[in-house]
């Protein structure tokens, strides 16, 4: 008997689902590894987003110019 303990409790504590601001697809993210300034990529639309805030979680679209600047450093 499982009782009242949620079956996916451990999974929920480790990973969160983020919706892509561009195409609304799910982006899998490890919550414990998420930091401000981190870049996330959507596998569906190839959009790149920067984490600008953790609480609440906010993402900002990264322009192609910003990506090129980051690669040069």
- What is the pTM (predicted TM-score) of this model? 0.62
Indicate whether 1 belongs to any domain: no
Indicate whether 19 belongs to any domain: yes
Indicate whether 4 belongs to any domain: no
How many domains in the chain? Answer: 1
Give the CATH number for residue 59: 2.20.28.160
Indicate whether 44 belongs to any domain: yes
Cα–Cα distance for residue pair 70/39, rounded to 1 Å: 11
Indicate whether 33 belongs to any domain: yes
**Per-position pLDDT tens, the chain of length 73:** 444 544 444 444 466 778 898 999 988 887 777 889 999 999 999 999 999 988 888 889 998 654 455 555 5
Which domain, by its residues, includes 19?
Answer: 9-72
């Amino acid at each position: 008997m499982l009782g009242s303990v949620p079956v996916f409790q451990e999974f929920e504590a480790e990973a969160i689902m983020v919706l892509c601001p561009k195409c609304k697809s799910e982006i899998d993210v490890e919550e414990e590894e998420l930091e401000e300034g981190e870049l996330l990529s959507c596998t569906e639309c190839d959009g790149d987003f920067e984490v600008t805030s953790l609480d609440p979680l906010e993402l900002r679209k990264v322009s192609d110019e910003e990506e090129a600047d980051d690669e040069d450093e």
